[in-house]
Amino acid sequence: MTSLHADEAFLGHYQLSHDPFAPRVPGFKFFPAQRKPVLGQLHHLARYSQLLLVVTGPQGSGKTLLRQALVASTNKQSVQSVVVSARGAGDAAGMLRQVAQALNVEQAEIGAILAQVVQLALTGQEVYLLVDDAEQLDESALEALLALAAGAPEGRPHVFLFGESSLIAQLEALSLEEERFHVIELQPYTEEETREYLDQRLEGAGRGIELFTADQISDIHESSDGWPGTINQVARDAMIEAMIASRSAVKRPSMGFNMPKKHVLAISAVVVVAVAAAWLMPGRSKAPTTGAPANEQAQLPLGQGTPQPNSGGAPSVEFAGNSQPMPLPLVGNSQPVMRGPLAEAAGGITEGDDGVPVEGSSATPPTVTTTAPPAGIQPGPAPTPAAKPVPAPTQVATAKPAPAPVAKPAPAPAKPVAAAKPAEKPAAVAKAAGGSWYAGQAPGNYVVQILGTSSESAAQSFVKEQGGEYRYFKKVLNGKPLYVITYGSFANRDAAVTAIKALPAKVQAGKPWPRTVASVQQELATTR
């Protein structure tokens, strides 16, 4: 996939108008946290200080964006901004050449440039000289810029250097004990400022902070150390990883359920034992002439379910140690017993997050499957006493119409009804976890996310203590369950933000934030 197609897929998946974390985005708004005070300080020093001004910070700290904001916020009628880069022109000659060209000066010399600055000052214009990547300047270039900053009695340019912290040591070596420059060091964002920054970027692209969970925001802040350039990169990578994961889950062929490897191995062992028992069964080669073909061959579908615990009178499979299956009891001419998942594999089963069938699902009640002789054919000789535990006639009577003698146990249909009773339990669990409540809300509504915890009992205790409009739902994060507590349901984001301000101080201390119901519903669907 080309990068262009990858970008199109990224934008389409999240319904973004543009890449919110690109270096330059349409309609970009200057993010004020930690930077607006610095911007005001630069304007103040440019007016009242005679020193060269230095702005430092690591790569990705926002130096270039601050420089752009400084140029954009100046009065264009009274200030002429000259922006040059130290990349590829780090010596004095290359630097002076760029400045002279921007000011329409023929000679790239300090004296000629200062003369032009004085002429502009007479017309009421000041000159701002801004240098990007200043850490790449050599000693001669820094000497030239310090000389320009000192200026002439009639006028001087205001010189701003934007570079990494190594620039300070170079300037100190040149200035000796004389004060010739002033340094402003940029600071990283706090976690709350990181969240607000992400929200502003996403909002500009048509979405909101609901695309990230609180845990993802914490991870992004921790990985980036709060520097905006790194935040952009980490946030975009996180969104792309989530997109690839969701698309892989959709494309992966499904058999209706996911079976743990240990269950597959157990079923394989059962199948081998069943086939061996069928071959060793007494009288296998002396098949009766009448009705035998219907019952002679024992078949089990391969790889379609998981072994279930024994229920009622159904035969069980016992294991000696960890790998050696005991013989599967086969009685008379009946078929081998198939466990519930094997019998129901064609219709699919529901499994919990850990691969264990959820209580009350179709996988819970074990199913006993037998084969009835064709209509009109008398049953064979009476089975041995060991055959009593297999309720074959009862199951046949409930499955097909049969002659009167076979249909005697009429009350048998009540058994599936009794077995289906546990299906009521998931409804109670879903209600407790809030899953059904979230599913019934409008996707465009907002809830307030309070906190997430790995302990369901802790989530239940919190909801019980707070009461009212507090609920929680279960999601899976990094393969482990996470119980997320939310508050209320609001028609729009502003209403949710207003509700946050009215929450108790103890709850507000956890930095709750608004998110759409649609994002919760998507997480619930993924968890299933």
* pLDDT tens string 120-149: 999 999 999 999 999 999 999 999 999 999
The pLDDT score that the predictor gives to residue 479 is 75
Domain topology for 36-185? Rossmann fold (3.40.50)
Instruction: Look at residue 434 in the predicted model and tell me its pLDDT.
Output: 62
Work out the average pLDDT over 60-81.
91
As a whole number of angstroms, the distance between CA 430 and CA 358 comes to 12
Cα–Cα distance for residue pair 352/342, rounded to 1 Å: 18
Give the mean model confidence (pLDDT) for residues 324-353: 37
The one-letter amino acid at 15: Q
Percentages helix, strand, coil for the chain (3-state, rounded to 5) are 45, 15, 40
Mean pLDDT over the full length of the chain: 73
The tokens describing 61, both together, are 């700290």
Residue 506 has pLDDT above 70, yes or no: yes
pLDDT, position 47: 86
Q: What is the distance between the alpha carbons of residues 287 and 89, in angstroms, rounded to a whole number?
A: 96
Contact 262, 322 (CB under 8 A): no
pLDDT of residue 297 exceeding 60, the answer is no
First to last CA, the chain: 30
pLDDT tens per residue, range 403-423: 444 444 444 444 444 444 443
The pLDDT assigned to 476 comes to 82
At 53 the three-state DSSP class reads strand
| pLDDT score, position 12 | 86
State the average pLDDT over residues 202-231: 92
Ranges of each domain in the chain: 3-26+190-248, 36-185, 426-527
Q: What is the mean pLDDT of residues 103-110?
A: 92
Residue 44 has pLDDT above 80, yes or no: yes
Contacts of 218 (CB under 8 A, 6+ apart): 191
| pLDDT value of position 244 | 86
Put simply, whether the predicted model's pTM sits higher than 0.85 gets the answer no
Strand 324-325 and strand 480-490: the pairing is: unpaired
Length of the chain counted residue by residue: 528
Which pair of structure tokens corresponds to residue 367?
């199913």
Which of the four pLDDT bands, split at 50, 70 and 90, describes residue 393?
Answer: very low
Find the mean pLDDT for residues 344-370: 37
| pLDDT band for position 219 (cuts 50, 70, 90) | very high
pLDDT category at 338 given cuts 50, 70, 90 is very low
pLDDT of residue 322: 38
Task: Tell me the pairing of strands 158-163 and 52-56.
Answer: parallel
Fold identical between 36-185 and 426-527? Answer: no
Q: Provide the CATH number for the domain formed by 426-527 in this structure.
A: 3.30.70.1070
